Each structure stands twice: as structure tokens, then as C-alpha cells.
Amino acid sequence: MPRRSSLVAAVLLAAAGLGVAAPRAGAAPESAVREDARVARAVDLARQVGARQQALASLNRRADTRDRALLGRARVLAAYGWSGDPEAARAVLPLADYRISAGFGLTGPLWEDEHGGQDFGAAVGETIVSVAAGTVTEVADAGPYGLRTIVTLPDGTEVWYCHQTSATVQPGQAVDLADVIGTVGSSGNSTGPHLHLEVRPAGGSPVDPMDWLRAAGLTP
């Protein structure tokens, strides 16, 4: 390596915190070769250190981005009843602002048989979210149920969202828990704005949605 190149490399390494002396003037050829080899090794080491520092900085940036995303998700989940680790959430409540209304299993003139779900009273237009991850399998006018969206979970459980004013999803669409799927209304057989929520394991007979939500770690 020419003496000028060795000096330039030495200056760069000194700036990087690596002390490498320039070859001595008039050094023997063998010494110059050894000096050049030492400088080359130091340059290579500096490059490796720089590459590792860049990789570490990139990892830190990705971790920071992930932390910010988790913090934002934690806020969303908390608004719908989940206050634990965002990555451990299995379900959320369907509404952020509601009052508990007619419960599961009630009988009376409002129903042909037992009340098959849980009613959540809320203002018209209140956002409805999916209580769990799944696939939308129906969005349709369902007679007494009004505008109904059905989300089928991976285990085959159907979750019905009834009496909506509007739906924001369509059949075949995948949804995550807390994804917006519609808005509260009073369509169908309804005496006022509310969400009628039904939970039907394997698409069969309904179970008490409150028990199902509590089993997922929620407090309706």
C-alpha cells in the first residue's frame, strides 16, 4: 500500500477511535508490508464494528416501532374492556360506551321464545367492534334481528351482531378483535337503539354471551 494510502487509513481509523500509526519513513520493505497488513486488518475491524453498530441501531428502531404499536393497541383494547397484555387478548367487549339491558334467557311478549342473547343499550351510531378475530360470514337483513353481521371464529363459534344501523364489513372479510364492523341501531324487532349480541358455539344453540366474555377475561 502506498505511504499516502496508509496515512489516509490511519487518519480514518484514528477518527473512529482506533489508534493505528502511519508507517515510518524509510522503513524496510518487510516492515512496510507488515505495517500495511496491520492497517488492512484494522480497517477491516473498523468496518465490522461499524456494520454491527448499524445492525444494532436498526434492531433498536424496529423494537421502538413495535413498542409504539403495542402501546397504541393497548389503548384501543382498554377502551373495549381489555386491560392486560395486548398480545394475550383473546376477546374484547363489542362497545366502548353502553348500558346492560335485556339479558340472556329472559322470556316475555317481546320474544317468541327465550331471549337468545345479551342486549347492550347504546346511542344510535355507536361503533360496534368484533369481540374476537374471525371471518365475516353474513351481512344481511335478518327479519326480527334487523341488520345482522355474523362473524365466525376459528373454532366455529358464530357471533351475531344484530339491530345495526350500518355494517362496515362484507362476507368473506377477515377481522381482528376490536376491528370496527358496524354501528348501533334499532332495525328489526327493536324497542330502541341497542346491540343484540349472540354467541353460538359451532353455529348451534346460543349460550350466555356474558359467561363467554367473562371466560375470556373480560368484565362486562
Share of the chain above pLDDT 90, in %: 57
Q: Greatest CA span in the chain, whole angstroms? A: 109
Q: Write down the pLDDT at residue 143.
A: 94
Helix axes 3-15, 29-79, angle to 10 degrees: 30
DSSP string of 41-53? HHHHHHHHHHHHH
How would you write 185-205 as a 3-class SS string? ECCCCCCCCEEEEEEEHHHCC
| Residue range 35-57, pLDDT digits in tens | 777 878 877 777 887 777 777 66
| Residue range 161-201, pLDDT digits in tens | 999 999 999 999 999 999 999 999 999 999 999 999 999 99
Mean pLDDT of the chain: 83
Q: CA 27 to CA 38: how far, in whole Å? A: 15
pTM: predicted TM-score of the whole model, two decimal places: 0.69
Residue 158 reports pLDDT greater than 80: yes
Q: CA 159 to CA 201: how far, in whole Å? A: 9
Tell me the sheet residues that pair with 134. 175
Q: Write down the pLDDT at residue 103.
A: 84
CB atoms closer than 10 angstroms to residue 80: 20
Q: CA 105 to CA 88: how far, in whole Å? A: 31
Closest CA to 199 of 138, 133, 136, 153: 153
Q: Write down the pLDDT at residue 48.
A: 80
Q: CA 169 to CA 109: how far, in whole Å? A: 33
Q: CA 81 to CA 54: how far, in whole Å? A: 40
Query: Domains in the chain, please, with CATH?
Result: 3-77 (no CATH), 99-215 (2.70.70.10)
DSSP string of 137-190? EEEEE-GGG-EEEEEE-TTS-EEEEEEEEEE---TT-EE-TT-EEEEEB--SS-
Residue 30 reports pLDDT greater than 90: no
End-to-end, the C-alpha distance of the chain in Å comes to 76
